[in-house]
Structure 1
């Protein structure tokens, strides 16, 4: 069984992969002239993103840029396929196939590098925080201070204070 910090890192990677897949697919489709999808196409895109996120969280080596690139590329391919099939309208000015594939590939490579770099930074930061919290000294407990209450008469409180002072000390000749 993995430690909770490793599992949290995998969940963060999976969430980032799902969000990046959705954002890149929607942005590429909108920039390609297709507009934003609605209805069943959007639901299918969200299912693809959830699948990509779950895959990225479940695979143990998605901290590696190469595997994260493959997972994100698969998500982009599935998302592009869904939005292309769901688009019943023609794009106003379709981009050449090589330009579209190059833009998707560049976005996937940059996204995978950012997710993996963020994962490494998050692990390093949490290690530092854990080590710092382990070496904190325990809090010092102080004895409760004696409360001096108000007396009914001001002279009586002065007498109580004077009588509590000790007049003992070393002999005068010393």
Structure 2
């Protein structure tokens, strides 16, 4: 059996998709006229958000493109909306146009935020590891030889060597 390796950002992507799918589903649901969810709807929403995040985390690496991210978030929004409508809720199972638009905008914004965070993941983790380990990294500099600005004259060199810089003894 062939198992594909997960991307290093897979746990981050799954966590973000699960959390944002639930949170933005509630926000888009409220903006679209669905009202505030009750405790039973929130419990069901929590379960569906965890399941959506876990499924997204375990996707193979070949499904980690932008289209797969939008698809996972869209599926998360759909499942979250279904979870909100399964409990005693004031509107019907088919959402209004304003609610669909709110869910679509929330999905697009989440996809943009997660894709940006994944792009920065590698450099942020590298900086974090360097800070925690405290490993000294050499700073590359161009080596320059010191070149004297004045011309060397053999007479000047002899005079400088013959001048004594020692003074009389000092009483302590």
TM-score band, normalised by shorter chain: 0.5 to 0.7
CA distance in 1, matches of 2:27, 2:79: 15
How far off is 1:76 after superposition? 0.6
SS of structure 2 residue aligned to 1:20: helix
Q: 1:20 to 1:86 in 2, by over 3 A?
A: same
Residue equivalent to 2:44: 44
CA distance in 2, matches of 1:130, 1:89: 50
Q: 1:102 to 1:30 in 2, by over 3 A?
A: closer
Residue equivalent to 1:72: 73
Q: Is the 1:34–1:87 contact (alpha carbons within 8 Å) kept by the matching residues of 2?
A: no
Residue equivalent to 1:83: 84
Map 1:1-174 to 2 at 5 A: 6=8, 9-61=9-61, 63-90=64-91, 97-128=96-127, 130=129, 136=136
CA distance in 2, matches of 1:99, 1:68: 23
Q: Is the 1:63–1:119 contact (alpha carbons within 8 Å) kept by the matching residues of 2?
A: no
Give per-residue Cα distances to partners, 1:48-93, cap 9 Å, x unaligned: 10011111211133542210110110111111122123234348xx
CA distance in 2, matches of 1:23, 1:129: 28
CA distance in 2, matches of 1:89, 1:130: 50
In structure 1, list runs of 5 or more residues that go unmatched: 138-174
Q: Where has structure 1 moved over 6 Å in runs of 4 or more?
A: none
Q: How many residues align?
A: 130
SS of structure 1 residue aligned to 2:37: coil
Q: 1:88 to 1:131 in 2, by over 3 A?
A: closer
Normalised TM-score (structure 1): 0.62
- RMSD between aligned alpha carbons? 2.9
In structure 2, list runs of 5 or more residues that go unmatched: 138-172
